Structure 1
Amino acid sequence: MTMPLPQRFTTPDMRSRLGLIAESHERLTGRPLAPGNADPAETLWSAPRVIVAHGVQADPVFFFGNRAALDRFETTIDAFTAMPSRLSAEALLREERQALLDRVTRNGFIDDYSGIRISAGGRRFRIEQATVWNLIDAQGAIHGQAATFDRWIDLPAD
């Protein structure tokens, strides 16, 4: 059963933020996340790859996770969009995650990230060849960071 686009992603503000995810990805990487004139909200939500984004708070909180992200992280949209993004990484690997975010801040994007993440259910998995990029508007203001990946390896339970 496919899950329709949640109401929270249909507001004008959120549609603008989702458009920025798609537009900034294409501008920075040269690769589109969404087909040319498709609705970015619907396209990002239903994409077969994980797509997540967080804001610019001191402890950034996810504001978007698509259907694939909710499945992979074993969570609901309400729980995911209330979670600080650092909690998607294991405690021991949060320092590695911060180094990644610093590199993205310096370079605009990276497309070679690998790292271990943990689902809400405690399942550990290693993401590979993830693209992480800054959400930069046309005026150069940074609105957060986003990531996408479609390769992972489930890791054995400890």
Structure 2
Amino acid sequence: MDKPLTGVGATYEHSKLLVDSYRRWTGQELVPVENSREKGLEELLFTAPRVILSHGTESDPVLNYGNRMALELWEMSWEQLTGTPSRLTAEPMERAERDRFFTQVTANGYVDNYTGIRISRSGRRFYIVNATVWNLVDEQGIYRGQAATFLDYKYL
């Protein structure tokens, strides 16, 4: 994946992959794309009023994107987040369920209404509610990873 832009989080190409894949699977817009001429698509995603994050295709997938809300929720800098294996966002006891869920997403393209427990860098636990998780597929049909978005979470 391309090197992210400092302060925004993702390249235009990765931003487009997030938005296009979300639209492909759900039929909805992840962010108001009509505003992308005034604000760059990268900024729209980074400042969106919802958590958005993604991981790549490594054997142990590493997070490759998190918008401002994701960085705040997981209490990480961009560099910390994008160096974190995705599985470490869940507590060890939650990882098997998380893995089963991501296998289902891979098979079906996307799943919404996912709910699960996650953990921040400092150990703060939170419950994510009604997340949508989708496969990232580029214009050539190549699988590039998975992404998730959600509005609601509750600290435990």
- Output the TM-score relative to the length of structure 2: 0.90
Percent identity of equivalent pairs: 46
Question: What RMSD, in angstroms, separates the aligned Cα atoms of the two structures?
Answer: 1.4
Matched residue count? 148
**Unaligned stretches of 5+ residues in structure 2:** none
* Alpha-carbon offset, residue 140 of structure 1: 1.4
Cα distance in 1, alignment partners of residues 66 and 52 from structure 2: 6
Cα distance in 2, alignment partners of residues 100 and 28 from structure 1: 17
CA contact (8 A) 1:88 1:119 kept: yes
Instruction: Map 1:35-74; keep pairs closer than 5 Å.
Output: 35-37=32-34, 38=36, 39-74=40-75
Runs of 4+, deviation exceeding 2 Å: 5-10
Cα deviation 1:23-45 (Å, max 9, x = unaligned): 11011101101223413211110
CA contact (8 A) 1:46 1:67 kept: yes
Residue 71 of structure 1 aligns to a residue whose secondary structure is: helix
Give the aligned partner of residue 6 of structure 2.
6
CA contact (8 A) 1:125 1:153 kept: yes
CA contact (8 A) 1:113 1:131 kept: yes
Give the aligned partner of residue 29 of structure 1.
26
Cα distance in 2, alignment partners of residues 36 and 48 from structure 1: 14
Cα distance in 1, alignment partners of residues 50 and 129 from structure 2: 12
Residue 14 of structure 2 aligns to a residue whose secondary structure is: helix
Give the aligned partner of residue 152 of structure 2.
151
- Output the TM-score relative to the length of structure 1: 0.89
* Alpha-carbon offset, residue 7 of structure 1: 5.1
Tell me if 1:108 matches 2:105. no
**What is the letter of the counterpart of residue 16 of structure 2?**
G
**Unaligned stretches of 5+ residues in structure 1:** none
Cα distance in 1, alignment partners of residues 33 and 53 from structure 2: 20
